[in-house]
Amino acid sequence: MDDLGRVLTRTLELVATSRDPLGSAGDVASAVKELEFQLQRLEGSLALDPSLVRLMFAPTGSLQDISIHNGWGEEFLRLASQVDKFCGDLRAGASGPRRVRAERCSVPPR
């Protein structure tokens, strides 16, 4: 995977075929909506806030819960690593939000 669009697309494919995890706040329908929204922003050449994208892929977040419950936890870790690569380090102490433009995060043709 060489761009954020592919990472989001692959994650959407996996989530869309997953079941809701038992005992978790994360639900598949909400995750699908959020991933579709982020992909639409990329397709529309709109800026993304990388901190929001990284939050979706955060450890112990709903996407990780969904992935573990549905048997693709290892792939989730690889996808999350790619998100970190594309969105940069925005941990506490980083200087303000940065925006990722579509030209840096292209979406593969459908």
Has residue 100 been placed in a domain? yes
For residue 48, which phi and psi values (nearest 5 degrees)?
-105, 150
Reported as a single tens digit per residue, the pLDDT across 14-58 is: 999 999 988 766 789 999 999 999 999 988 888 778 888 889 999
Has residue 110 been placed in a domain? no
Has residue 27 been placed in a domain? yes
The number of distinct structural domains making up the chain is 1
pLDDT at 17: 96
Q: Is the pLDDT of residue 80 over 90?
A: yes
The model's pTM: 0.76
**Contact status, residue 65 vs residue 24, Cβ threshold 8 Å:** yes
pLDDT at 22: 81
pLDDT at 44: 86
pLDDT-based confidence at residue 97 (cuts at 50, 70, 90): very low
What is the rounded (10 degree) CA torsion for 63, 2, 109, 107? 60
Has residue 68 been placed in a domain? yes
Q: How far apart are CA 96 and CA 92, in angstroms?
A: 10
**Contact status, residue 63 vs residue 18, Cβ threshold 8 Å:** no
Enclosing domain of residue 58: 4-104
Has residue 44 been placed in a domain? yes
pLDDT at 52: 87
Has residue 13 been placed in a domain? yes
Has residue 62 been placed in a domain? yes
Q: Is the pLDDT of residue 92 over 60?
A: no
Q: How far apart are CA 64 and CA 61, in angstroms?
A: 5
Has residue 77 been placed in a domain? yes
